Structure 1
């Protein structure tokens, strides 16, 4: 059997966003990602914006999909869980995010059944993003 880890590579995760500019601002300004590329598809009436912490060639990124004709915000549904980002000093990070307008429905603190400290924030469309305290993981 071949080594599957050399055959496959996680490239991106895609979420549909209602207000593309607001979402790009959230992911780049509040979470420190870079807008890697933005592709317009006029015939299909949609735009794809890729954001992440490094080039797509060797990093997993987030694809923000904006359908031009979407009249109302998307329903997130019950199947999607969350994106996860590792951070150092989760309390300081959350404090800064909150000062800059981020919604933090689950304030930082230890997991219920562990010692790692986590928090949950929400992007402009209500997608949950788990912050994991890298310096608290055991």
Structure 2
């Protein structure tokens, strides 16, 4: 058996992304790892509850945005305070799509899609 550990996304500006994930979703830095000899800087964010992490991977020296593709991959997050968080995201101008069920979608500064789900 395996368990999920983390998902990695590429970001252009680590500080901008950390601020977004902190302010919009309440995630905090768990650890940082610089690998200058390999050209990467990694920042791991966590929610403080599940142990699952979001790895922000920055290619040092890169100045051009990443091409994300056309297949619409996304990260889904459960929100205990779903209605309050949705209101916050609407006031921040982040909500770009909403399903009839109320589930909605936002994008991070690099264009990664985040699906926000109500608690089960």
Assess same fold via TM > 0.5.
yes
Q: TM-score, normalized by length of structure 2?
A: 0.88
Kindly indicate whether residue 114 of structure 2 is the aligned counterpart of residue 124 of structure 1: no
Show CA shifts across 1:7-35 (max 9, x none): x1211000000111100111112210110
Task: Give yes or no for contact 2:8–2:54 (8 Å, CA) kept in 1.
Answer: yes
The 5 Å alignment of 1:15-30 reads 15-30=9-24
Listed as ranges, the gaps of 5+ residues in structure 1 are: 112-116
Across the two proteins, how many residue pairs are aligned to each other?
120
Change (3 A) 1:125 1:90: same
Structure 1 residue 64 and structure 2 residue 26: aligned?
no
Q: Residue 30 of structure 2: which of 36, 40, 52 is its match?
A: 36
Long gaps (5+) in structure 2: none
Query: Relative contact order, CA 8 A, sep 6+: which one is greater?
Result: 2
Q: Displacement of 1:66 after TM fit?
A: 0.3
Do the aligned partners of residues 66 and 98 (structure 1) sit closer, same or farther apart at CA in structure 2, a change above 3 Å counting? same
Pairing of 1:40-55 with structure 2 (within 5 A): 40-54=34-48
State the Cα distance separating 1:51 from its structure 2 match.
Answer: 0.3
- TM-score normalised to the size of structure 1? 0.77
What's the secondary structure of 2:103's corresponding residue?
Answer: strand
SS at match of 1:48: strand
8 A contact 1:52–1:61 mirrored in 2 = yes
Aligned to 1:114: none
Rg comparison, structure with higher value: 1
Q: Deviations over 1:76-110 (max 9, x none)?
A: 112451101111353321221233x3521114x53
> Structure 1 residues 40-49 or 11-20, which shifts more?
40-49
